[in-house]
């Protein structure tokens, strides 16, 4: 049976959040030629909308991590998939995430990237499920705060489904 979806953020609210984040990033990264590191797969829609609001030179890399199996609970262990970007020493790095939940994934990635001696390292996340945090993670550019519910849409999936929805929904009543 298909689970019920309840609307959390309509596409206009998401667009407003993206514009606000882009304004902050435009202010901070002009002339820095940053390398945006987008975490696949969930951030792909956010990244596409965000970068079209950024009006300075930048580069984009994708990184693949895995912390989730099927279902809605983090397995805790985070792994880096092969093909991680290598030329990041001395670059201004901005990690682009769809959601920070327990924080384990972002903490792992920031630690991993920090060891490669970037010029700077910051985190931008479209959503923040702050109530679920298990490790401290500083979100430099934070979009929407979401309640402790499993969310889908706008690139974010449940078991690979619902990434194509233009709005963000909570799974269940």
Interface with ligand IMP by CB under 6 A: which residues? 42, 67-68, 74, 97-106, 129, 150-151, 156
Active site residue 101: yes
Strand partners, 66: 79
Which stretch in 10-18, 38-46, 56-64, 88-96 sits in contact with Mg ion by CB under 5 A?
38-46
Region binding Mg ion by CB under 5 A among candidate stretches 9-17, 31-39, 68-76, 142-150: 31-39
Q: Among 101, 111, 159, 167, which one carries the catalytic annotation?
A: 101
Q: Which residues pair with 161 in a beta bridge?
A: 158
Judged by CB under 5 A, which stretch of 20-28, 40-48, 78-86, 159-167 contacts Mg ion? Answer: 40-48
Beta carbons of 85 and 37 less than 8 angstroms apart:
yes
**Rounded to the nearest whole angstrom, what is the least distance from the CB of residue 100 to ligand IMP in the complex?**
5
Minimum gap (Å) between residue 124 Cβ and ligand IMP? 13
Residue 75 beta carbon to ligand IMP: minimum distance, rounded to whole angstroms: 9
42 is a contact residue toward Mg ion (CB under 5 A) = yes
CA angle 28, 31, 37 (to 5 degrees): 65
Q: Which residues bind Mg ion (CB under 5 A)?
A: 39, 42
Catalytically active residues are: 101
């Amino acid at each position: 049976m298909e689970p019920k979806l309840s609307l959390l953020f309509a596409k206009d609210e998401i667009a407003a959040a993206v514009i606000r984040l882009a304004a902050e990033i435009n202010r901070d990264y002009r002339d820095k030629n940053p390398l945006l590191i987008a975490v696949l797969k969930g951030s792909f829609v956010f990244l596409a909308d965000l970068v079209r609001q950024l009006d300075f030179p930048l580069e984009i890399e994708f990184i693949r991590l895995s912390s989730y199996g099927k279902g809605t609970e983090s397995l805790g262990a985070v792994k880096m998939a092969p093909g991680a970007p290598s030329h990041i020493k001395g670059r201004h790095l901005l990690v682009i995430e769809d959601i920070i939940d327990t924080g384990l994934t972002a903490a792992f990635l920031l630690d991993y990237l920090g060891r490669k001696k970037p010029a700077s390292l910051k985190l931008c996340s479209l959503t923040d499920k702050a109530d679920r945090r298990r490790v401290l993670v500083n979100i430099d550019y934070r979009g929407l705060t979401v309640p402790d519910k499993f969310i889908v849409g706008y690139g974010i999936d449940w078991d690979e489904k619902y990434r194509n929805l233009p709005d963000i929904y909570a799974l269940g009543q």
